[in-house]
């Protein structure tokens, strides 16, 4: 009985996710789902990335997902881009964003005027990987402070993503962290995933990520 209901929830989510892909394909909007542990730097990445994409002529929007507060949406205000905040506390403090909350969030954006919309998922390296948001691309951030073992311990997240960004590389001199070991661990889980080290402080890797996105925007 329980299993049946869980399956229904996932089937219903997948159906809405498919509808989202039809909508974003029609408006030629790329939907990118950013996932990570809390505090890996998703919001800071968006603060730095949006101007780089705007400079190249792309119109950017953001869907912010948090259990509580509008702090992240407020941080993005200076960018002057459309931002929709979802607070999952309204639906019981959900630990992830499902397609059923992304769909009404998209209603609040004029997709005909947007080339790329980023979803900043709830900070959680587990549950967001289990729910299709309707995004075209899944990207995981992992900060170097979290340790090289995380891809092996949280494998689903690295399986469902096309790109892994290794964030906060400016802290490497102060850590015992082996980038090669992390790369090996990620590739054990997903040999096809792209991997870019990034530092929003030093600007490292931002152009790699921008080019990677532009390639997919022009498809």
Spell 105-134 as b/e; 16+ CB within 10 A means b. bbeebebeebbbbbbbbbbbbebbbebbbb
Count residues near a copy of itself (CB under 8 A).
Answer: 36
Binding mask 159-198 for a copy of itself (x = CB under 8 A): ---------x--x--x------------------------
Span from 16-24, 31-39, 48-56, 133-141 in contact with a copy of itself (CB under 8 A): 31-39
Give how far the C-alpha of residue 136 lies from the chain's centroid of Cα atoms, to the nearest Å: 11
According to the binding rule CB under 8 A, does residue 69 interact with a copy of itself?
Answer: yes
- Closest separation in Å from C-beta 129 to a copy of itself: 9
Contact, 67 vs 168, CB < 8 A? no
Span from 15-23, 100-108, 118-126, 203-211 in contact with a copy of itself (CB under 8 A): 118-126
Span from 10-18, 26-34, 111-119, 138-146 in contact with a copy of itself (CB under 8 A): 138-146
Question: Hey, is 99 helix, strand or coil?
Answer: helix
According to the binding rule CB under 8 A, does residue 2 interact with a copy of itself?
Answer: yes
According to the binding rule CB under 8 A, does residue 145 interact with a copy of itself?
Answer: yes
User: Residue 50 is encoded by which pair of tokens?
Assistant: 């949006």
CB of 38 or CB of 57, closer to a copy of itself: 38
According to the binding rule CB under 8 A, does residue 100 interact with a copy of itself?
Answer: no
Which candidate, 65, 124, 120, places its Cα nearest to that of 89? 65
**CA gap 47, 145 in Å, rounded:** 21
CB of 118 or CB of 154, closer to a copy of itself: 154
Span from 45-53, 61-69, 108-116, 208-216 in contact with a copy of itself (CB under 8 A): 61-69
**CA gap 139, 123 in Å, rounded:** 13
**CA gap 133, 31 in Å, rounded:** 9
């Amino acid at each position: 009985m329980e299993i049946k209901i869980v399956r229904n929830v996932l089937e219903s989510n997948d159906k809405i996710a498919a509808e989202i892909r039809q909508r974003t394909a029609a408006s030629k909007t790329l939907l990118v789902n950013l996932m990570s542990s809390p505090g890996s730097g998703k919001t800071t990445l968006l603060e730095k990335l949006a101007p780089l994409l705007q400079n190249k002529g792309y119109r950017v929007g953001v869907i912010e997902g948090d259990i509580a507060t509008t702090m992240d949406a407020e941080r993005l205000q200076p960018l002057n881009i459309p931002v929709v905040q979802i607070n999952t506390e309204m639906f019981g403090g959900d630990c992830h964003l499902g397609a059923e909350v992304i769909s009404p969030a998209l209603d609040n954006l004029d997709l005909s005027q947007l080339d790329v919309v980023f979803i900043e998922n709830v900070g959680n390296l587990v549950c967001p990987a289990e729910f299709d948001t309707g995004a075209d691309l899944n990207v995981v951030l992992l900060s170097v402070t979290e340790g090289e073992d995380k891809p092996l311990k949280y494998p689903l997240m690295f399986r469902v993503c096309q790109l892994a960004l290794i964030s906060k590389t400016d802290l490497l001199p102060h850590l015992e962290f082996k980038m090669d070991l992390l790369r090996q661990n990620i590739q054990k889980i997903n040999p096809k995933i792209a991997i870019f080290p990034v530092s929003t402080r030093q600007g490292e890797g931002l152009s790699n990520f921008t080019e990677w996105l532009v390639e997919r925007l022009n498809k």
